[in-house]
Amino acid sequence: MLTIHRLDPYDDAEFATFHAAYAEANDFERPYSDTWRPAEFMVAFRRDSPAEELYGLLAQEGDEVVGVAVIELPLADNVELADVCVYVRPEHRRRGVGTVLARQLATDLRQRGRTSWMSLVAGRRHGQPEGTLVPGEAFAARLGLTMRQWDVQRRLALPAAQDRLDALAAEAAPKHRDYRLVRWANKCPDDYVETYCRLKEAMVDEMPTGDLVMEAEVWDQARLRESEAHQAAQGRTRYIHAAVAPDGTIAGHTELVVPEHDPGVIYQWETLVLPTHRGHRLGLGLKVANLAWTQAEHPDRTSLRTWNAESNAPMIALNEAMGFEPVEYAGSWQGDIPA
């Protein structure tokens, strides 16, 4: 008999079983999966944040966990939305486990006032024919979600050649002489907090989101400091380069993350230049400077990973100039939560 219950993130044994099921499902037939390590996951589930809540469900047959669900609820904005993922162990797929988990999710989320759910669903690997439909996509479609944006994962072998980075930096520098490039690790300097929060608030409106329905996020000093502390607790070191405009405001930034528990890898997170400051090659200058800094600090890392919306031609061109190559695709799916 299949039963569903909520994860107790403070039960170490249950959490280990939960993570094992998630990792096995997420890694299956995906050489470029982005599975979180147990320590990162545990900190996220035990987080007490005013901005978001993370919780899990387990589907169990007897003593065996056959599937799990991960649910993220925004609390400060997008309060009608839920970000969900359903994972079923490979040997238990096509038996209705995912459907039962999804039905329980829908009931829970409706009771909490959520009306829309979205999910990032892994798609075909690079080199497979366009139109190749993987099981996760078919599952999302059966639940009534539709694919709203196509994302591409790209990888860059490290260390990147310094002469290539120097050449790209030299190409970009004359275009942004009026801007100062500043950098920090982990904690934003107090002097930049207010203007950095305004940049963070612009992310949803300015990044390509396809047909996704989302509202802008609300950022203030408390949210920024809580987020920074959370990333540090997960063992992640964040390297940020920002462009300061002549008026002292932050015009753009880029962020690389080095996870303590995921050896060999660096992750490219946000990159954004505000619209009024584009055309100065700030994106290129920031990304090249940040990569040169970060790989010098972590010469043991062998791979840099990034994701871009397929429609984001300027960022894709920039990444290709740096040497990134596509490896996997993923779709952002969204739909109404059934009553």
pTM, entire model: 0.93
- Residue numbers of the chain with a pLDDT score lower than 50: none
Contact 295, 164 (CB under 8 A): no
Domain limit, last residue, from 114, 146, 171: 114
Of 114, 139, 165, the residue at which a domain comes to its end is: 114
Give pLDDT, residue 145: 95
pLDDT, tens only, 108-159:
999 999 999 999 998 877 766 676 677 889 999 999 999 999 999 999 999 9
What does the block give as tokens for 7? 């994860």
Domain that holds residue 108: 2-114
Query: In this structure, are 89 and 167 located in the same domain?
Result: no
Q: Residue 339 class from Cβ within 10 Å (0-12 exposed, 13-18 middle, 19+ buried)?
A: exposed
Q: Which among 241, 327, 260, 269 is positioned nearest to 300, based on CA atoms? A: 260
Query: Contact 253/208 with Cβ under 8 angstroms?
Result: no
Q: Is the same domain home to 168 and 55?
A: no
| CATH number of the CATH domain containing 30 | 3.40.630.30
Specify the pLDDT at position 125. Answer: 73
User: What confidence score (pLDDT) does residue 74 get?
Assistant: 97
pLDDT computed for residue 124 by the predictor: 73
Pure H helices in 149-276: 162-172, 193-201, 203-206, 221-233
Check whether residue 85 and residue 219 sit in a common domain: no
